Amino acid sequence: MFSKKGSLLYASIFLSVLLSGCGGGEAVDEAGQYISTVEEIDIPDDVKVIGLGEATHGNIEFQELKKDVFEALIKNENVHVFVLEGDFGGGQQINQFIVNGNGTAEEAVKALDYSIYNTEQMVDLVQWLHDYNVTAGEDEKVYFYGNDMQRYDFSKKEVLDYYEAVNLDNNKKYADQLKNVSNDTMRELTTKQLEEINHTVDNILLDLQSNVGTYEEQSSHDAFSFALQHAQIMKQRTQLFLNEENYTKLRDKYLADNLQWIVEFEAERGHGKVFVSGHNGHIEKTSASLAGYKSMGNYLDELYGAEYFAIGTDLINSEFQALNRGSDERQIHTIENHNDLVDAFSEVEPNIFYVGFEKASESEELLNMIKSEQKMVNIGDDFRSWHRLLKMFYTIEMIPKEAYDGIIIIKEAVPTTVIDKTEVL
């Protein structure tokens, strides 16, 4: 048993940990001169990839920011490609809706098969992209992608559909070999089954790469490129299952690889700039997560340098929804976050505003903040009520100026409501 003295010491240490980082800074005089609206975000001319992070997956404001930022980029930066941290195959279903009108916005969003996106805000975004394309000229249309690889169904379908067009024998052979592969059953697959799937996908990739000329003659360059990429997505999904111990490390590498494919594919179509939206932990450049993985943003920074422009987000007060993986239920949580940077702007009037770090650097006070470690909100789609008791469970300590090129701050945020609560974990 603890002695009374030991118990007091333990309590003292626990309290110090509990309160660490909970304090904040003070408002900066005339901070308003260093902010702008989202519509006024200025991106350097030589940038190829613009990343937008979100501090949680469960706030209305972050889902609405996707549309607001992308709309500004269309108007001001001639950006016409939207990439989401979502399934590549499912993302193509959204693209078919916004470009060709196939299905409905609700059906397109559900194709992503991830509850965080089954919200009114995401449906509104996809419907807006569709309506924009209805009136846009051919050179002004927008295109949608996912760069994630955590699902099978639509990539499997696209690969088999392609073979139906170019090689019916392979269509039948691979359909049989992949018959056990689906989003619904993928977590029930044994290691032996996964290894067999991996072997089959390797054969598909080899066949496609060995017959590029013949297959393109029977289809098109674009159709072949997508079939090959869908097969790569299946390979990545399988590798994640076979390497669970390195899941987060592999996933962010694949996110970066898939985004690079999209950038290069769209560049061939005359689109020199791409917008990507994902969690802060994927967008930021410094791999600050204590989970120890190299972030997608870090890969992009190495690949593109100054041609990658990262915009982070942070919060002061947030009521948000997230999945409790312990109970498999979605719950509403509340946090209050303070650090020197967000508190510096606590007295500005707008609820949502952008702080470009080039502009902020004109203030010595703000420059010192963005060059110093700040505990910034970082909440994924798994949160327990007790996490809010320790700031280390809902923030990441990072140097803003190294992680991002600017930041959008939200002073008060409210939760999304999931339309369909079915989860595929």
Chain segment 28-57, per-residue pLDDT in tens:
999 999 999 999 999 999 999 999 999 999
Chain segment 73-101, per-residue pLDDT in tens:
999 999 999 999 999 999 999 999 999 99
Selected residue with higher pLDDT from 323 and 71: 71
Rounded to 5°, the CA angle 237-239-242 comes to 120
Chain segment 357-372, per-residue pLDDT in tens:
999 999 999 999 999 9
Using the predicted structure, report yes or no on whether residue 199 has a pLDDT greater than 50.
Answer: yes
**Cβ 143 vs Cβ 267: under 8 Å:** no
Q: pTM for this structure?
A: 0.93
Token reading at 266: 């769209």
- Taking residue 176's Cβ as centre, other Cβ atoms within 10 Å add up to 9
Looking at every residue in the chain, the average pLDDT score rounds to: 93
Nearest to 370 by CA among 405, 395, 400, 402: 400
Largest pairwise CA distance in the chain: 82
Q: How far apart are CA 225 and CA 247, in angstroms?
A: 26
- 253-291 exposure pattern, b = at least 16 Cβ within 10 A, e = fewer: bbbbbbbbbbbebbeeeebbbbbbbbbbbbbbbbbbbee
Q: How far apart are CA 274 and CA 272, in angstroms?
A: 7
Q: Measured in whole angstroms, how far is the alpha carbon of residue 32 from the centre of its chain? A: 29
Chain segment 210-255, per-residue pLDDT in tens:
999 999 999 999 999 999 999 999 999 999 999 999 999 999 999 9
**Cβ 346 vs Cβ 287: under 8 Å:** no
Task: Write down the pLDDT at residue 326.
Answer: 83
Mean pLDDT of 7-23: 44
Rounded to 5°, the CA angle 259-83-399 comes to 75
Task: Write down the pLDDT at residue 23.
Answer: 56
Burial (CB count <10 Å: 0-12, 13-18, 19+), residue 104: middle
Only one residue has tokens 């239920």, namely: 329
Using the predicted structure, report yes or no on whether residue 8 has a pLDDT greater than 80.
Answer: no
Token reading at 318: 């947030």
Helices (H) and strands (E) in the chain, counts: 17, 10
Mean pLDDT of 102-106: 97
**Cβ 347 vs Cβ 318: under 8 Å:** no
CA end-to-end span of the chain, whole Å? 41
Chain segment 314-327, per-residue pLDDT in tens:
999 999 999 988 88
How far is residue 82 from each of residues 52, 304, 320, measured CA to CA in Å?
11, 18, 25
Mean pLDDT of 251-265: 98
Only one residue has tokens 């927008």, namely: 142
The β-bridge relationship of strands 352-356 and 329-336 is unpaired
Task: Write down the pLDDT at residue 12.
Answer: 41
3-state secondary structure of 345: coil
